[in-house]
Chain A
Amino acid sequence: QVQLVQSGSYLKKPGASVRISCKTSGFNFTTYSMNWVRQAPGQGLEWMGWIYTRTGNPTYAQGFTGRFVFSSDTAVSTTYLEINNLEAADTAVYYCARSPSWRMLDSWGQGSLVTVSS
């Protein structure tokens, strides 16, 4: 069955970096794009962008350029989100989600909590 398993929770200081992984199984990784979605505490879902896994080409939504980096490793069917120069406002749960096209995000990881605090 389709599985997206994310790495755990993180407690980081402002200015540090974090790399979240999303390991997939049960489907052909390179036939899907992988999205990242942010959910701040008590807030709604926010689409951060996606990576076209076949080529590794990322697309970033407005507000997620510069400090945010998407990457993927087809050899291990895993996608990554790296956030650099962390700020308190980055405290959130980050989800990876699979999409066959622009039509839907049809499978989701369990989420990774990033807490940024001094």
Chain B
Amino acid sequence: QSALTQPASVSGSPGQSITISCSGTSSDVGGYNFVSWYQQHPGKAPKLIIYDVSSRPSGVSDRFSGSKSGNTASLTISGLQTDDEADYYCNSYARGNTLLFGGGTKLTVL
């Protein structure tokens, strides 16, 4: 299976909102509600910020939200803060009992 498709980079100013897309197929993103998102700061381990498409783990800011339409999932970050500058990865369960990551998106807060 191929990796999920994410934009290489997005940017926004403090206080603005941005959306990162994650495109797959009906065999992964479109076929299951098992999409998760991870935030990774440089030199650090990834951190789960969204699971089951739109659920947030305890302790994750409600500025992070997720959604899905067809074969594309999206992560929206509202009220951008400087600490949101990081790499973001989507992940989905895929047919055949496997997990797929997206290629990652670098968020720059201008």
Contacts and interface: CB of A to CB of B under 8 A. Distances in A.
Partners in one complex: yes
Contacts of A102: 32, 34, 93, 97, 99
- Looking at chain A, what size class is its interface with the partner chain? 20 to 34
B45 A95 contact: yes
Contacts, number: 60
Interface string A82-95: 00000000000001
- Looking at chain B, what size class is its interface with the partner chain? 20 to 34
B100 to A, nearest CB: 7
B103 A44 contact: yes
Contacts of A103: 34, 36, 51-52, 93
Chain A CB within 10 Å, residue with most, of B46, B89, B103: B46
Given A45-B89, A62-B1, A105 B100 contact: no
Given A61-B98, A103-B36, A105-B36, A44 B45 contact: no
Interface of B: 1, 3, 32, 34, 36, 38, 40, 45-48, 51-52, 57, 87, 89, 91, 93, 97-104
Cβ-closest 4 pairs across A and B: A104-B51, A44-B104, A108-B45, A102-B93
